[in-house]
Structure 1
Amino acid sequence: MQTIKIAVQKSGRLNEDSLKILKDCGVSIDNGRDQLRAQARNFPLEVFYLRNGDIPQYLRDGVVDLAIIGENVLFEKGPDLEVVEKLGFSKCRVSLAVPKSAAYDGPLSLQGKRIATSYPNTLAHFLEGHGIEAETHIINGSVEIAPNIGLADAVCDIVSSGSTLFKNNLREVDVIMKSEAVLAVSPKIGGAQREILEQLRFRIQSVLKARGNRYVLMNVPNAQLDAIIDLLPGMRSPTVLPLAEPGWSSVHTVISQDRFWEVLDEVKKAGAEGILVCPIEKMVL
């Protein structure tokens, strides 16, 4: 039986989130402690646990067919590789930071400066785009310490909350790129594997749609029914069921998280009561 090989980060937050989305897609993986490969029990998929920075080359060489990887790593080491799905988790950004006491009036402030980074290609692309010449120091890990020890005037590194910058007396001054986990594909993927990929993408899309929406039930007086329905951004139209109490109906709909609180405030003001909000496990359109 044909299987598809997928690479995920060996350890860390991206590893946990990657395995979670596969689990939410109904894929059961038999992975033991320190295993580098694991087979799914109920889906034609084999997982490879790899170092994040090595994944683009494994994709390029066709050792794996797919990978869940951060956009930032792909931009740095595999800009030629195809992305077929953005996954919406492990969000971060690649940013420039300078000491809190340093002046910064835009990218041109970096002219002639020393910049420490683990993302030399990403930094070079940014500098070139702004016509800036600067000295790059490549550091793997603990980039934030470079200005404190006199090695650099600024840093270019991955930022999530910004707490690491704060602890090292740095401030974020420019965002080079925003990143999230993506599903990337090898240029050497075969036809049979491409079919399995589409099955997996269908499941992933269903999970992501569910994560981005909530199922909402509310009790509505019939006199206000039309007005409240007009406020609801349902998938097609909301479901309306009569309640045992005369003059009232139960309205069921799906609301995206982006508009969730805004819509709830509006329907409550319009007369909706007993509003119940439920998570959605899967959502197939």
Structure 2
Amino acid sequence: MTTTLTRLRMATQKSGRLAEASERLLKDAGIKIRSSKGQLTARATNFPLDLMLVRDDDIPTLVGDGVCDLGIVGQNVLEEYRLDPANEDVDVLCRLGFGGCSLRFAAPADEAFELANLEGTRIATSYPLLTRKFLEDNGIQAEVVTMHGAVELAPRLGIADYVCDLVSTGQTLEANGLKPVHTILESESVLIRTRADIGSEKSDRADALTTRIDGVIATAESKYIVLNAPETALEEITRILPGAEAPTVMPLLGREGHVAVQAVCQESVFWETLEALKRAGATDILVMPIEKMML
């Protein structure tokens, strides 16, 4: 039985767009979480891991200060945190492939926008450090107004001329008479790790969990392809297979000059790909999902 001191601590979003995806990621990694509604902590029953369920803005701080060993957070939040020199930095272990969005300037829908329009204006944002850095890097003088919600209302309320906010679909901006016009940062969720010394035992467990998560991410887009083909078509078929490295090739019993090809494709496999394989000489093509993968 592991003690509290040797159990990993991971900070994840309590609620919001990353909360369900983080929970699903851990489930796919074989981690069973026992939690009670409304609690700020949750405990894994089959792995030495405890979750701290917090606001996304607090996750980099908890990991940076060593309160938590690992965390799942959006790059947008992490990069804002990193721009404050008072904060301890963290290591990014991997991108997680969910929570995609972009930090963008938004302008009135009827405006012919260019960056020069920002000069001398007021810009409302929940990401003041990222916004100021962009303005400084581009030699633009503008006042940054920090808001902690409903940023898209700022122009309508007369608080600001423009906004710099997260955009996923753009529907909220459109509903408030705005349009996204320039991207500062493309963001997705990432797994982060503290730089504080956590000891060899916890470090080994963190590495084991990271390996599982890497496998889940690789499995998400990967497919297992099996096909038969003449040996003369192998070079072309290998070229067509999406993201495949060194496919397994075995002779077909009773069919001289023909082989069976097996490959893990680490990119999406579309119908067009199958059609191209068939034109190259492949037959009996099977595409199967991969349940688990260890890289």
TM-score higher than 0.5: yes
2:265 pairs with 251, 255, 258, which one?
255
Between 244-253 and 13-22, the greater mean CA deviation after superposition: 244-253
Match of 1:134 in 2: 142
Distance in 1 (alpha carbons) for counterparts of 2:250 and 2:38: 52
- Contact in 1 for aligned 2:223/2:269 (Cα 8 Å): no
Pairwise CA distance, 1:164: 1.5
Distance in 1 (alpha carbons) for counterparts of 2:177 and 2:15: 28
Distance in 1 (alpha carbons) for counterparts of 2:170 and 2:75: 19
Match of 2:280 in 1: 270
Distance in 2 (alpha carbons) for counterparts of 1:178 and 1:67: 19
Match of 1:51 in 2: 55
Between 12-21 and 185-194, the greater mean CA deviation after superposition: 185-194
Match of 2:86 in 1: none
**Cα offsets for 1:244-275 (capped at 9, x unmatched):** 88886543212232575664342122233343
Structure 1 unaligned spans of 5+ = none
Between 179-188 and 240-249, the greater mean CA deviation after superposition: 240-249
1:73-88 equivalences under 5 Å are 73-79=77-83, 80-88=89-97
- Contact in 1 for aligned 2:64/2:90 (Cα 8 Å): yes
Which secondary structure does the structure 2 equivalent of 1:146 belong to? helix
1:110 pairs with 115, 118, 143, which one?
118
Which secondary structure does the structure 2 equivalent of 1:166 belong to? helix
Which secondary structure does the structure 2 equivalent of 1:13 belong to? coil
Identical residues among aligned pairs (%)? 42
1:3 pairs with 7, 27, 34, which one?
7
Pairwise CA distance, 1:140: 1.4
Match of 1:119 in 2: 127
Match of 1:201 in 2: 210
**Cα offsets for 1:18-50 (capped at 9, x unmatched):** 111111111111112112111111111101100
Task: Kindly provide the amino acid, as one letter, of the partner of residue 120 in structure 1.
Answer: P
Asked if residue 237 in structure 1 is aligned to residue 241 in structure 2, the reply is: no
Pairwise CA distance, 1:220: 3.4
Task: Kindly provide the amino acid, as one letter, of the partner of residue 237 in structure 2.
Answer: I
1:64 pairs with 56, 68, 71, which one?
68
Pairwise CA distance, 1:154: 0.8
1:183-222 equivalences under 5 Å are 183-191=191-199, 192-220=201-229
The alignment covers a number of residue pairs equal to 284
Which secondary structure does the structure 1 equivalent of 2:265 belong to? strand
Pairwise CA distance, 1:76: 1.1
Which secondary structure does the structure 2 equivalent of 1:83 belong to? strand
TM-align CA RMSD:
2.3
Structure 2 unaligned spans of 5+ = 84-88
**Cα offsets for 1:141-194 (capped at 9, x unmatched):** 111111122221111001112222222221111110111111112232412322
- Contact in 1 for aligned 2:59/2:72 (Cα 8 Å): no
User: Cα–Cα, structure 1 residues 223 and 195, in superposed 2: closer, same or farther, change >3 Å?
Assistant: closer
- Contact in 2 for aligned 1:8/1:18 (Cα 8 Å): yes
User: Cα–Cα, structure 1 residues 223 and 128, in superposed 2: closer, same or farther, change >3 Å?
Assistant: closer
